[in-house]
Amino acid sequence: MDKKEILLINGGGPLRGEVIISGAKNSALPILAACVLGTEEIILDGVPDLKDVEIMIEVLRHLGSKVEYIGDESLRIDSSGINTCETPFELMDKMRASFVVMGPLLSRFKEAHTKAPGGCNIGARPIDLHLKGFEALGAEALVNDEAISITTKGELIGNEIYLDFPSVGATQNIMMAATLAKGETIIENAAKEPEIVDLASFLSKMGAKIKGAGTSTIVVDGVEKLTGTRHTIIPDRIEAASYMLAAVMTKGDVTIKNVIGSHIRPVIAKLIEMGASVEEIEEEDIIKVSANQKLKPTNIQTLPYPGFPTDAQAQFMALMTVCDGESKIQETVFENRFMHVEQLNKMGAAIATSGNRATIVGVDKLHGADVKATDLRAGAALVMAGLTASGQTKISDIYHIDRGYSKLVEKFTKLGGDIKRVTID
């Protein structure tokens, strides 16, 4: 049988100390994909050490880019020698975000493909908005059970594109496709996430002409070519939020470094409303967070940025399980993003769901249990719950957590958490 890794956590006292937040996964992935657009050397700093980043590097290498580490968190990328426009479906399947390489490929080479030799029902993935955008620029999209092929006979031509939903990935893909198109592209109802702004600022450094990133209207004026540059990835707002929540859930006191407060306004506002102490030292990118009592319950509704982030929903739910009363969550961004409920309930939580709504009745204490990380953020929620619970928690399927939390065990250990990675048969 394969050896598997699990996390063993003994719940204990408050987390205390300092934690340094890594570069944002959700910025690093599209920015790595954007490197496909450039014909000169690019250096990226602040690249987080994550499984998802490894997969994106694998995608780039498969296409023919040279990618090498020149420091712990710095990469040198040279995409001048790209020799295929086909990404194996296996890499798309491992990580949905690999699809953001399609826009850059289409823009530079006029074609982008992915194929699943065995047939994997590729068409079922929610990529309709990406495809609609590519088609508006004049590309043709062919989608069946074995392949997705996006091609254009002539040049891509700028156009006005209205997104039915402000999808982060579709906004990125269309923005990148438009960089080398002819004329002006206007994306209406675009996503406004900080990661969109980071991608736009990276593309602009490469020579792209982009206005309005961070608002709901993004205007891209096509240019002839994109060049090399050097760029530092913004801090990961979701990783920061996760450590802030773990700090208050354990009634601890933690200084979060390399965090941009304006990227996590809803998280800070909710924590203050619930009775936590949050002190921002903006000029130093530091937030100090603490709590010395049970927090008050609250209600949240996930929304596209600048609303409450869906990527912090599971972690907030973990915190709510030990609040003083009844909290409610409504998940409006993703369907079926409550898989952590069953796992948290195994630890003594009292959560009931109905459709996309959850009601969480605070309990006195959670207890350790054998649980499973059902996705990345669910995994983080279970780590928080384990650190707070009485007794021992074993978390399996932790590859989900490795996708998005750099050096999680080291970071929590430094804060005083009793957490270990163990290999089992």
Shortest CB 148 distance to ligand UD1, Å: 12
User: Among 36-44, 61-69, 82-90, 125-133, which window interacts with ligand UD1 (CB under 6 A)?
Assistant: 125-133
User: Among 122-130, 207-215, 344-352, 385-393, which window interacts with ligand UD1 (CB under 6 A)?
Assistant: 122-130
Q: Is 311 in the site for ligand UD1 (CB under 6 A)?
A: yes
b/e map of 380-405 (b: 16 or more CB within 10 Å)? bbbbbbbbbbeeebbbbbbebbbbbb
Contact 73, 31 (CB under 8 A): no
CB neighbour list of residue 392: distance below 8 Å, 6 or more residues apart: 8, 9, 10, 11, 368
Q: Is 235 in the site for ligand UD1 (CB under 6 A)?
A: no
- Position among 159, 298, 310, 313 found at the interface with ligand UD1 (CB under 6 A): 310
**End-to-end C-alpha distance for the chain, whole angstroms:** 7
CB neighbour list of residue 15: distance below 8 Å, 6 or more residues apart: 246, 247, 250, 252, 253, 254, 387, 412, 415, 416, 417
Contact 21, 259 (CB under 8 A): yes
Binding mask 134-173 for ligand UD1 (x = CB under 6 A): -------------------------------x-xxxx---
Q: Is 127 in the site for ligand UD1 (CB under 6 A)?
A: yes
Q: Which is nearer to ligand UD1, 20 or 303 (CB)?
A: 303
- Position among 29, 59, 200, 323 found at the interface with ligand UD1 (CB under 6 A): 29
CB neighbour list of residue 376: distance below 8 Å, 6 or more residues apart: 400, 401, 403, 404, 405
Shortest CB 213 distance to ligand UD1, Å: 14
Shortest CB 280 distance to ligand UD1, Å: 23
User: Among 128-136, 141-149, 252-260, 378-386, which window interacts with ligand UD1 (CB under 6 A)?
Assistant: 128-136
**Residues in 330-349 at the binding interface with ligand UD1, rule: CB under 6 A:** 333-334
Shortest CB 24 distance to ligand UD1, Å: 9
- Position among 51, 108, 113, 130 found at the interface with ligand UD1 (CB under 6 A): 130
Radius of gyration of the chain, Cα coordinates, nearest whole angstrom = 22
What is the distance between the alpha carbons of residues 57 and 54, in angstroms, rounded to a whole number?
Answer: 5
Q: Is 123 in the site for ligand UD1 (CB under 6 A)?
A: no
Shortest CB 286 distance to ligand UD1, Å: 24
- Position among 13, 17, 126, 325 found at the interface with ligand UD1 (CB under 6 A): 126
Partner residues linked to 7 by β-bridges:
395, 421
Shortest CB 93 distance to ligand UD1, Å: 14
Q: Which of 35, 85, 120, 323 is catalytic?
A: 120
What is the distance between the alpha carbons of residues 132 and 148, in angstroms, rounded to a whole number?
Answer: 14
Q: Which of 173, 189, 98, 95 lies closest to 141, judged by CA?
A: 173
Cα 124 to Cα 75, 105, 128, 251, 409: the distances in Å are: 34, 22, 10, 44, 36
Q: Which is nearer to ligand UD1, 29 or 289 (CB)?
A: 29
Shortest CB 145 distance to ligand UD1, Å: 18
Partner residues linked to 423 by β-bridges:
5
Sheet of strand 370-372, all strands in order from the earlier edge strand to the far edge: 370-372, 392-396, 4-10, 418-424
Q: Which is nearer to ligand UD1, 169 or 386 (CB)?
A: 169
120 has catalytic annotation: yes
- Strand spans (E) along 235-307: 253-257, 277-281, 286-290, 299-301
Hey, what are 26's tokens? 């959700």
CB neighbour list of residue 13: distance below 8 Å, 6 or more residues apart: 250, 252, 416
Q: Which is nearer to ligand UD1, 26 or 290 (CB)?
A: 26
Hey, what are 83's tokens? 């020799």
Shortest CB 172 distance to ligand UD1, Å: 7
Q: Is 53 in the site for ligand UD1 (CB under 6 A)?
A: no
Q: Which is nearer to ligand UD1, 109 or 334 (CB)?
A: 334
Count Cα atoms within 13 angstroms, Cβ side, for 422. Answer: 13
Q: Which is nearer to ligand UD1, 69 or 165 (CB)?
A: 165
Q: Which residue is nearest to ligand UD1 (CB)?
A: 169
Q: Give the interface with ligand UD1 as residue ranges (CB under 6 A).
A: 26, 29, 96-97, 126-130, 165, 167-170, 191, 195, 310-311, 333-334
- Mind telling me the catalytic residues? 120
